[in-house]
Amino acid sequence: MPDRSLRVHREVVSYVRRSERMNPSQEKAWAAHADRLLIPVPSRGLDTSVHPDARIDWASAFGREAPLMVEIGSGRGEALVALALRHPDANVVAFEVFAPAIASTMSRIARHEVGNVRIVKANGAEGLKHLFADSALEQVWTFFPDPWHKARHHKRRLVSPEFAALVAAKLRPGGLWRLATDWEDYALAMREVLDGAPGLQNVHGGWAPRWAERPVTKYEARGLAAGRSVFDLTYQRTPTANGDAPTVGDLLHRTPRPDAHGEAAL
């Protein structure tokens, strides 16, 4: 009897499924570095899904125990590599679904001799859910996520109440979620979702100052060149009232408490 819970169907995802064709230098980078940098993860049959039973021993994947930082949608790895170099004491996990972008990231990692990055070619939302224990993460980064402009596509936006609950559950209390976008309507939608999200506190009470460690990526440069502003946001995982870590289920079913917002400055 087939397991119906694992049935493959067309799911709403935050990325475009497109051709995976790589250019010769990307093919070369993949062949040279995938064994070391890419962490294979079992899927549900869809290439970019993550099987609910999939587990990764991150300490052995990195060869050491260290605080975990995760980027979702790392693109060509511009921010990823710069930030991994700034945080040599962290183990940095990147989720990206697009193979050519991953290959370019591998080249960049090799060029800069970065040792503390591993890449998972999968939907980061599923990866976050299944591959990390609750409260396991020090930071989560979501920079220039696909904006999905049309109203009928808004359901594909990565930042949603469900995703916020997931990030909140996976961050350790005090851990940070940093976001940036050059699309004002998405930035406002992020504020609407995240300012009221249980378990998260807007560190600056509004827009965050630009995170100085974050380099200007191709996407940011393109937005600026087109005359758009860039909006940064930083949220911190709050401890629960009894000090225990909330689960995703707790966070999704709890109503927001306006008094949960404190005054930390980061």
Ligand X SMILES: C[S@@+](CC[C@H](N)C(=O)[O-])C[C@H]1O[C@@H](n2cnc3c(N)ncnc32)[C@H](O)[C@@H]1O
Binders of ligand X among residues 47 to 76 (CB under 6 A) are 72-75
**Which strand ranges, in their side-by-side order, compose the sheet holding 200-202?**
117-120, 91-95, 68-72, 137-143, 171-181, 231-237, 200-202
Distance, CA of 107 to chain centre: 21
Q: Is 219 in the site for ligand X (CB under 6 A)?
A: yes
Assign 5 to helix, strand or coil. Answer: helix
Measured distance CA(106)–CA(31) in Å, rounded: 10
Structure tokens belonging to residue 96: 């990206």
Query: Closer to ligand X at the Cβ: 125 or 197?
Result: 125
Residue 199 beta carbon to ligand X: minimum distance, rounded to whole angstroms: 21
Q: Is 124 in the site for ligand X (CB under 6 A)?
A: yes
Query: Closer to ligand X at the Cβ: 145 or 246?
Result: 145
Residue 83 beta carbon to ligand X: minimum distance, rounded to whole angstroms: 11
Residue 257 beta carbon to ligand X: minimum distance, rounded to whole angstroms: 29
Residue 88 exposed, middle or buried by CB count within 10 Å (0-12, 13-18, 19+)? exposed
Catalytic residue among 47, 57, 146, 185: 146
Q: Is 97 in the site for ligand X (CB under 6 A)?
A: yes
Q: Contact with ligand X (CB under 6 A): which of 29, 84, 119, 158?
A: 158
Q: Contact with ligand X (CB under 6 A): which of 146, 160, 168, 171?
A: 146
Listed ranges 39-47, 84-92, 117-125, 258-266: which one lies at the site for ligand X (CB under 6 A): 117-125
Listed ranges 29-37, 128-136, 214-222, 253-261: which one lies at the site for ligand X (CB under 6 A): 214-222
Q: Is 182 in the site for ligand X (CB under 6 A)?
A: no
Residue 118 beta carbon to ligand X: minimum distance, rounded to whole angstroms: 14
Measured distance CA(68)–CA(141) in Å, rounded: 12
Which helix H or strand E contains 68, and what residues bound it? Answer: strand 68-72
Listed ranges 37-45, 211-219, 224-232, 250-258: which one lies at the site for ligand X (CB under 6 A): 211-219
Helix, strand, coil share (%) of the chain residues, nearest 5: 35, 15, 45
- Give the residue ranges of DSSP H helices in 38-120: 58-62, 78-86, 99-111
Query: Closer to ligand X at the Cβ: 56 or 245?
Result: 56
How many residues belong to the chain? 266
Catalytic residue list contains 146: yes
Q: Is 14 in the site for ligand X (CB under 6 A)?
A: yes
Which residues are identified as catalytic? 146
